[in-house]
Structure 1
Amino acid sequence: MNEKAPSTNTATATAVSPSSSREGMVRNPSRGNTTRNGDLEAGVNGAEHDGDVPHEHHRRHHMPHLIEDSAIPRAKDFVARFKGEGRRVPGWAESCKNALTHSWLNAFVIFIPFSWAAHWAHWHYSIVFAFSFLAIIPLEKLSDYGGEQMALYLGASLGDFLVITLDNVVEATLAIILLTHCELKLLQSTIVGVILLHLLLVPGMAFLTGGARIWEQHLKPHPTQLNHSLLTFGVLSLLLPLAFFTALPESLPNQTTGAPSSAVVLKRLVARAAEEGGHGKDVAIQEALMRSVETLAVRDATRGTFLKFSRGLAILLLIAYIGSRIYLHNPPGDENSLKPAPNAPAAEKHEEEKLEREEPQISPWFGIVLLTITVALIAVTAEWLVSSFEPVRDQHKISAEWFGIILLPLLSYAADGCIAILYFVRAALFFHPDSPDELAKARSIDLSIQFVLFWMPLVVLIGWWTHREMSLLFDLWEVAVLIGACFLVNYVTADAKTNWVEGMVMVLFYVMIALVAWFYDGQPEVHEMLRCGPVSETLALVAATLNGTSSEGGGEAGAHAARLF
């Protein structure tokens, strides 16, 4: 009852306030009713008043003036809120102090200069990787803090969009750096890992910890229903290239006349290399190469086809995401992104009222500077991290699939994971402490949707502009796991209610995926299709290496090609 009272009062005040031209439009019967039902309801009301068509024509004639008049107070409200009018806005010194002392994880900033020094001084790769990993934790936390504070000046809807984008900044930076380094297979595994992390582990931990002492938790029903469609749409878009690739024939037809194809020649070379004593770990490489050279799909022409329609699919994914953001943040009707919808649940209205009452800890301009510096430091530190993890991966015998699907995405969850561990320690020692705000976030599913509908297609388009062969052809096992995760998340959130058992199931499914990924080496055909350079060149180098006729340089190239398989 206490939570509903302020929401009801606010909704009533909004409906009867004469200070806005939007409310004036609703009370003026000559202009029709401008509710969320749009022209249909307005036309019905006009027919009730006059019963003729000219009135409807007159209403449509004046509609541009109504939109123009309503846009002015919207812009003024946004500017006034961004300036912090009616609130105490901290100064620059106070803002800096609050930003540096808001979390104990800021103590990890000491690793930032160590990370840079380790890179420039050419320390051991493991040290560079460890320092860079630890340095990104406080930067990611500062980015979250800046986004949460800027949400106080932007409102709940626009603030959520900013926070979601900033929460993805670490993974997006890693994706772009991997693209520039031409680590395309690792890039795809990281994309899958980021989506799985925000679909399963992060919301699962939130549901598990947040619902431990209550019967069930509620989600916002309207965004949740839209998320089901967007998530399914994004995941199914990855199924199309894979189905196309799987449907291709496995051998060239009509090879009985003329010279044998290059695939047949390479197949003979590998068979002869195996007969001459290729045993042990080379057997797996030979078998993988045998499958690749006899597959019609693994060709430069086929890869060119996949690149063409992958770029088209990427553009369509971006259109879908932009359209969904317009619908969510600027919905049809009178309301806009600065205020909750009139039919919003009480919890959502209470959240908006809390944002309006809460005093910001930093000024808006300091927040912009903080986010700019933080994102720049994340980009540079992530560059050092990427440059060091390949030797670390080879030294510790970590598969590329597990490295990309599990380890790299955990960078973004390291800060929240530390807070979760601290929360459980406090719960064990002090009994039922207040849960930190980070554990109650339900926007992690929005992060995965943004990554699959915005960042993933954007990376494909950047690869097109930078001449990188990045396509939407993903590994079969990765796509199957994504579809399974999508099904589980949609089923758990179908009724817009969750509990701790459903959170536990989501976390356990993520652990299952991590366990299987440790033993999975990936599809060799997809590995080869994602190589920067001609496909035929790699196959020839590997065949020459296995045949024992390559030079020292060819041996290095063959070793590199062997790692692809």
Structure 2
Amino acid sequence: MDLRAVRPYLWAFVLALFIPASWVLELVRADGVLVFAAAGAGIIPLAWFMGLATEELGKHAGPGIGGLLNATFGNATELIIALFALFSGLHEVVKASITGSIIGNILLVLGLSMFAGGLRHRTQTFSREASGIQTSMLLLAVIGLVMPDLYILSQETTGGAVSPGLLRSMSLGIAGILLAAYVLGLLFSLRTHRDIFNPVTEAAEEPHWTVRTALIVILVATGFVALQSELLVSSLESARTSLGLTELFVGVIIVAIVGNAAEHGSAVIMAFRNKMDLSVAIATTSTTQIALFVAPVLLFASLLTSQVMSLDFEIFELVSIALSTAVLAAVASDGRSNWYEGVLLVMVYAIIGVAFFYHP
């Protein structure tokens, strides 16, 4: 066996040991914190293998279909975790994880990528036009997420009663518009204006896996992600109580980082290799997928539960998302990055993290 062929996957195989470990801990009724930590660690390599298999399928299918596959499966792990939380009635955790994924991709992932790339390259460049379009899509999402809270605020200000039914209907209508914007965004980025998002024509990369192998890996990894997500969610309340953390902090910081960890690593590696366009694309595309695709899908999925979720996020969450979007617009405006800009982004994320930690 060629060890050089296995070496890139070694870290994933090591972390995969947490998968059986988490179930053993559950069977022996170990402390919820241990079960939660092991289940979360086990999800990280599974998400990475799903991403790798999707990438291999894309090489077989060509750039158009490949881009669609990456867009569809890009946030599959986060979606699966959120669905289990949704059907467990943890609506606040679901909404907090949406918030965490958005601010995490903008500030933490992009910040670490700029820092890592800047250590090796004095200044890096990326497409201002592509990042500008992604920022515009995020602004649309922010407007959509703010509207339900504006309705609640206006009712409270005038002394009127907040109608739960009206709030749900408004949320579903907004979710439908956001989903339509996402579909049209796919048409724009993968079909009519593909040159903006793929400005450099490179030779097609040869796939290392067969289509059958890639499909098997996706199916197996998805199955295990579902199992691990069930364990993660079932142990979440016990772990949260033991650690004295709020649902808001767990959703915004911990669950979001676990769901995005593999993707985070990919963006940082691309930046270190001076592929800053790709690194920025990973971070910003993942963010818009969460805001325009995952959030609406979760809202429509809640129709299958006893309590329909609405888009009334906490003001604290909305302000954090809006500030993160403003920071992205400022940083991406010149199409250039350096290590210090990366540090500043990570520091903004740290400030928001501290604020969420102390938020009751």
1:245 to 143, 146, 152: 152
Distance 1:100 1:365, change over 3 A: farther
1:81 aligns with none
Residue aligned with 1:505, SS: helix
Between the aligned partners of 2:42 and 2:50, the Cα distance in structure 1 is 13
Is 2:243 the partner of 1:405? Answer: no
The 5 A counterparts of 1:322-337 are: 322-331=183-192
1:46 aligns with none
Is 2:300 the partner of 1:448? Answer: no
Between the aligned partners of 1:436 and 1:109, the Cα distance in structure 2 is 29
Deviation at 1:436, TM superposition (A): 9.8
Would the aligned equivalents of 1:143 and 1:375 in 2 still touch at CA under 8 Å? Answer: yes
Distance 1:99 1:328, change over 3 A: farther
Is 2:130 the partner of 1:130? Answer: no
Deviation at 1:476, TM superposition (A): 0.6
- Residues 437-471 of structure 1 show CA distances to partners (whole Å, capped at 9, x for unaligned) of 89962211110101100110111111123332300
Deviation at 1:417, TM superposition (A): 6.5
The 5 A counterparts of 1:272-311 are: 296-297=161-162, 302-311=163-172
Distance 1:497 1:373, change over 3 A: same
Between the aligned partners of 2:334 and 2:232, the Cα distance in structure 1 is 41
- Residues 298-352 of structure 1 show CA distances to partners (whole Å, capped at 9, x for unaligned) of xxxx1111001111111111111101101111217xxxxxxx639964xx213xx
Deviation at 1:487, TM superposition (A): 0.6
Between the aligned partners of 1:474 and 1:172, the Cα distance in structure 2 is 18
The 5 A counterparts of 1:98-137 are: 102-137=9-44
Between the aligned partners of 2:87 and 2:198, the Cα distance in structure 1 is 44
Would the aligned equivalents of 1:165 and 1:447 in 2 still touch at CA under 8 Å? Answer: no
The 5 A counterparts of 1:150-229 are: 150-229=57-136
1:349 aligns with 201
2:235 to 368, 384, 388: 388
TM-score (norm 2): 0.89
Distance 1:381 1:437, change over 3 A: farther
1:467 aligns with 306
Residue aligned with 1:330, SS: helix
Gaps of 5+ in 1: 1-92, 254-295, 333-339, 424-433, 522-565
Deviation at 1:241, TM superposition (A): 1.0
Distance 1:342 1:111, change over 3 A: closer
1:376 aligns with 223
Distance 1:450 1:144, change over 3 A: same
Q: Is 132-141 or 410-419 further displaced after alignment?
A: 410-419
Between the aligned partners of 1:327 and 1:487, the Cα distance in structure 2 is 23
Residue aligned with 1:473, SS: coil
Q: Which has the higher helix share?
A: 2
Would the aligned equivalents of 2:116 and 2:339 in 1 still touch at CA under 8 Å? Answer: yes
The 5 A counterparts of 1:4-15 are: none
Deviation at 1:217, TM superposition (A): 1.9
2:177 aligns with 316
Which residue identity lines up with residue 375 of structure 1 in the other structure?
T
Distance 1:248 1:419, change over 3 A: closer
Residue aligned with 1:391, SS: helix
Between the aligned partners of 2:164 and 2:6, the Cα distance in structure 1 is 48
1:59 aligns with none
Between the aligned partners of 1:367 and 1:221, the Cα distance in structure 2 is 33
Would the aligned equivalents of 1:99 and 1:362 in 2 still touch at CA under 8 Å? Answer: no
Which residue identity lines up with residue 341 of structure 1 in the other structure?
D
Between the aligned partners of 2:258 and 2:274, the Cα distance in structure 1 is 20
Residue aligned with 1:349, SS: coil
Would the aligned equivalents of 1:140 and 1:167 in 2 still touch at CA under 8 Å? Answer: no
Which residue identity lines up with residue 201 of structure 2 in the other structure?
K
Residue aligned with 1:365, SS: helix
Would the aligned equivalents of 2:267 and 2:278 in 1 still touch at CA under 8 Å? Answer: no
Deviation at 1:250, TM superposition (A): 5.6
Which residue identity lines up with residue 224 of structure 2 in the other structure?
L
Residue aligned with 2:195, SS: coil
Between the aligned partners of 2:285 and 2:195, the Cα distance in structure 1 is 19
Distance 1:383 1:342, change over 3 A: closer
1:508 aligns with 347
- Residues 494-515 of structure 1 show CA distances to partners (whole Å, capped at 9, x for unaligned) of 2332222222211110011001
1:528 aligns with none
Distance 1:437 1:119, change over 3 A: farther
1:491 aligns with 330
Between the aligned partners of 1:221 and 1:326, the Cα distance in structure 2 is 20
Would the aligned equivalents of 1:209 and 1:439 in 2 still touch at CA under 8 Å? Answer: no
Give RMSD over aligned pairs. Answer: 2.9
Would the aligned equivalents of 2:124 and 2:274 in 1 still touch at CA under 8 Å? Answer: no
Would the aligned equivalents of 1:205 and 1:439 in 2 still touch at CA under 8 Å? Answer: no
TM-score (norm 1): 0.58
Residue aligned with 1:441, SS: helix
Which residue identity lines up with residue 390 of structure 1 in the other structure?
E
- Residues 266-297 of structure 1 show CA distances to partners (whole Å, capped at 9, x for unaligned) of xxxxxxxxxxxxxxxxxxxxxxxxxxxxxx44
1:477 to 303, 316, 339: 316
Between the aligned partners of 2:98 and 2:264, the Cα distance in structure 1 is 20
Would the aligned equivalents of 1:194 and 1:405 in 2 still touch at CA under 8 Å? Answer: yes
Would the aligned equivalents of 2:126 and 2:277 in 1 still touch at CA under 8 Å? Answer: no
Between the aligned partners of 1:227 and 1:440, the Cα distance in structure 2 is 13
Q: Is 227-236 or 491-500 further displaced after alignment?
A: 491-500
Between the aligned partners of 2:84 and 2:123, the Cα distance in structure 1 is 41
Distance 1:496 1:435, change over 3 A: closer
Is 2:359 the partner of 1:520? Answer: yes
